[in-house]
Amino acid sequence: MSATNLAAAPSLARPAGIHSPAALGAGALLILGALAIGQAVSPRQAALYLLGASLGLVLYHAAFGFTSAWRVFISDRRGEGLRAQMVMLAIAVLLFFPALSAGSLWGQPVTGNVSPIGVSLLFGAFVFGIGMQIGGGCASGTLYTVGGGSVRMLLTLAAFIAGSALGAAHFHWWAAQWHLAPISLVKAWGVAPALAANLLLFALIAAGTLWLERRRHGATAAARPAPRAGLARVLRGPWPILAGAVALALLNFATLALAGKPWGITSAFALWGSKAAMAVGIDAASWPYWSAPQGQAALAGSVLRDVTSVMDFGIVLGALLASALAGRFSPSLRVPLRSALAAVIGGVMLGYGARLAYGCNIGAYFSGIASGSLHGWVWMAMAFAGSVIGTRLRPLFGLEVERTPRQTGC
């Protein structure tokens, strides 16, 4: 089952019923997991686990896909998804910039995701962009479609983890290549000028997508009728994509407040992959990537102590709960060979690219731009260029290139 088919909108005539076993299982795992993490680590860590679940539910119900939004715009100039991303980013910078400038939020010290611009970022983001299109998902899309029951995306996730570990092993070489020092627009310009510049760019991108879409089609795509209304739609979806944009920005801000840093995903994949490497006799602890005391502690300790890991677990279970409530949890083991091959190749590229580029569509693009980091904008440009190549490669693996927007997750 492809990720796009997984997230296809249910029949408007007869919405599917709740998948009770999956809903009860997801709910039980969320409650028991929060209790266990709260006791083993801290109540704050348990809250971050549940915050991850909220992100997974929002991603699924709003079908908020970065990969599909870029692909549909590349293939057919439909820009609804890109415009939603600009709304999400606009809300995020309005919330983040003052807090990051102050250095604390409600008594909690906070820092942004600000990383260097250099060969590592340029190459990594470009490779990630190709991988997200042939692998069938970005970092967030991979997690929430796995939670939604996509067996194909399990292959992408496994390869993603392997690629992340490989990227961690090679990171020291890439980091030694040409690069600029990290640039924070908030620190360099101040809050007001940085906000003005970012909001202007968001507006220009949104206006550009409108112009290109209307030029090709004469009008923007008409809104599709929802199969549910009222409280049933809130609980079971599907949500308007703009509702997802607003919710993701608010939840990322909540992550900043609780964790002291913005939302990220793929650093956990590098940790899981490196732990797996150590389990089979590879000395991942000797890699320079893990040389800092906190890196050594992460490798030696439980993944439940890693903020990104527990949030990732929450995303998967939150998406599982959402898919069960929507009546769309229906795993299938039938994965065509070419599609499976694309999932593995794309997954490795995603993992490797994310490590080299200091993050993925969440940690580098969403949270990087929300942090005022110039590297977030460079990441977006290079990953989009890679997505153009990846979109053109999809037919070689028997993968669809959508010509019209649909409710897709990846």
What ranges do the domains of the chain cover? 3-11+19-219+231-397
Identify the weakest region by mean pLDDT among 20-34, 40-54, 253-267, 392-406: 392-406
Please give the share of the chain, as a percent, with pLDDT higher than 70: 94
Question: Is residue 202 a contact partner of residue 89, using CB atoms and an 8 Å limit?
Answer: yes
Q: CA 361, CA 265: separation in Å to the nearest integer?
A: 9
Q: DSSP per residue over 334-375, as a string?
A: ---HHHHHHHHHHHHHHHHHHHHTTS-IIIIIIHHHHTTBHH
Q: CA 306, CA 308: separation in Å to the nearest integer?
A: 6
pLDDT given at position 231: 85
- pLDDT-derived band at 9 (thresholds 50, 70, 90) equals very low
Q: Residue 235: count other Cβ atoms within 10 Å of its Cβ.
A: 14
Question: Is residue 66 a contact partner of residue 326, using CB atoms and an 8 Å limit?
Answer: no
pLDDT for residue 145 is more than 90: no
Using CA atoms, how far residue 173 sits from 54, 167, 178, 288, in Å, is 37, 10, 11, 10
pLDDT given at position 402: 78
- pLDDT-derived band at 221 (thresholds 50, 70, 90) equals confident
Q: Let me know if 250 is exposed, middle or buried by CB neighbors in 10 A (0-12, 13-18, 19+).
A: middle
Q: Residue 170: enclosing H or E segment and its boundaries? A: helix 151-175
DSSP helix/strand/coil, 117:
strand
Question: Is residue 349 a contact partner of residue 89, using CB atoms and an 8 Å limit?
Answer: no
Q: Which residues does 300 contact at the CB level (< 8 Å), separation at least 6?
A: 285
Place of tokens 């949030």: 311
pLDDT for residue 137 is more than 90: no
| Furthest C-alpha separation in the chain | 60
pLDDT given at position 3: 41
DSSP helix/strand/coil, 40:
helix
**Whole-prediction pTM value?**
0.92
Q: Residue 380: count other Cβ atoms within 10 Å of its Cβ.
A: 22
DSSP helix/strand/coil, 159:
helix
pLDDT given at position 364: 97
Mean pLDDT of all residues belonging to the chain: 92
Please, what's the b/e burial string for 155-183 (b: 16 or more CB within 10 A of its CB; e: otherwise)? bbbbbbbbbbbbbbbbbeebbeeebeebb
Displacement of CA 341 from its chain's centroid (Å): 22
State the amino acid at position 331 in one-letter form.
P
Q: Distance from first CA to last CA of the chain, Å, rounded?
A: 12
Chain segment 223-282, per-residue pLDDT in tens: 888 888 888 888 888 999 999 999 999 999 999 999 999 999 999 999 999 999 999 999
- pLDDT-derived band at 83 (thresholds 50, 70, 90) equals very high
Find the mean pLDDT for residues 166-184.
97
Q: CA 375, CA 377: separation in Å to the nearest integer?
A: 5
pLDDT for residue 404 is more than 80: no
pLDDT given at position 228: 83
pLDDT given at position 7: 39
pLDDT for residue 111 is more than 70: yes
Identify the weakest region by mean pLDDT among 145-149, 252-256, 309-313: 145-149
pLDDT given at position 40: 96
pLDDT given at position 128: 98
Question: Is residue 50 a contact partner of residue 313, using CB atoms and an 8 Å limit?
Answer: no
- pLDDT-derived band at 8 (thresholds 50, 70, 90) equals very low
The candidate with the shortest Cα–Cα distance to 45, out of 308, 278, 239, 357, is 308
State the amino acid at position 297 in one-letter form.
A
pLDDT given at position 410: 52
Between 237 and 367, the more confident residue is 367
